[in-house]
Amino acid sequence: MKKSQLFMSLFALLFFVQSGFSQGNDDEWIPLFNGKDLTGWIPKIKGYPSGENFGNTFRVEDGILKVSYDQYDNFNLRYGHLFYEKNFSHYVIKVEYRFVGEQCEGGQGWAFRNSGVMVHGQSPESMRVDQDFPVSIEVQLLGGNGVDKRPTGNLCTPGTNVVMNGELIKRHCTNSTSKTYHGDQWVTSETEIRGNEIIKHYINGEMVLEYTKPQLDDRDADAKKLIVDGNLMLSEGSISLQSESHPIEFRKVEIKILK
């Protein structure tokens, strides 16, 4: 066989192996949402006990997981979260989302086209009945208003802190470097979480934020209850999808376990 033919054969074999490997990676994605109902998920809405889905806020229609407010007269600060039934530590969580429709009457201005994926969170059962948000790390999802710059894939820290560039960050929210996504377009958010080591945010395949050492904030009353033997570090926790007054849809919620 000529050298040129040998090279082409080896190149074709390498391409085949790489293609097969990529397909294998795709197979590792595990759907957390079955496209039919809320099996495996637990709602927790402020003012109501864990498990009560007030106003049918979280529902599945036409294969889409929806956060809706058509049965609300007024939002009335009823922040909600839909928790997956299991905790995770080292993984990638992927959601495909879009904001739709009008904000619920009574929703706050900052909550316009605002939602989030909460990770390393507390359990719904451990939340106070009137607690706004679970102690967690929030991957904030924002939609554009049609005019202003408004990045998505940001970080918010209800009851938590993180470290960036060697500095403990105590502010509540930190913007990512993402683009602004106006209108009702679908956006893909992926968050890579490696225990207490590092967390990276990706939007449509581009890394937009990273930080380390997610931890409980001992200044926060709800977080204080979760501290065991003085250890503030968060290495695992719940995953939940947020309800903050603006309708949002999720057509995909998947996880890939990391070794």
CA quadruple 88, 168, 127, 230: dihedral sign: positive
Distance between CA atoms of residues 193 and 100, nearest Å: 28
Give the angle 111-220-245 at the CA atoms, nearest 5°. Answer: 15
For 72, list phi and psi in degrees, rounded to 5. Answer: -100, 135
DSSP state of 135: S
Question: By C-alpha distance, which of 113, 130, 111, 131 is closest to 121?
Answer: 131
Question: Band of the pLDDT at 26, cuts 50, 70, 90?
Answer: very low
Question: Band of the pLDDT at 240, cuts 50, 70, 90?
Answer: very high
Q: What is the pLDDT of residues 3-18, one digit of tens each?
A: 444 444 444 444 333 3
Q: What is the pLDDT of residues 178-201, one digit of tens each?
A: 999 999 999 999 999 999 999 999
Tell me which amino acid residue 125 is: E
pLDDT of residue 2: 47
Distance between CA atoms of residues 137 and 189, nearest Å: 15
Distance between CA atoms of residues 225 and 136, nearest Å: 13
| Other Cβ atoms within 10 Å of 218 Cβ, number | 13
Q: What is the pLDDT of residues 96-123, one digit of tens each?
A: 999 999 999 999 999 999 999 999 999 9
Say if strands 238-243 and 114-121 run parallel, antiparallel, or are unpaired: antiparallel
Domain 32-257 fold is Jelly Rolls (2.60.120)
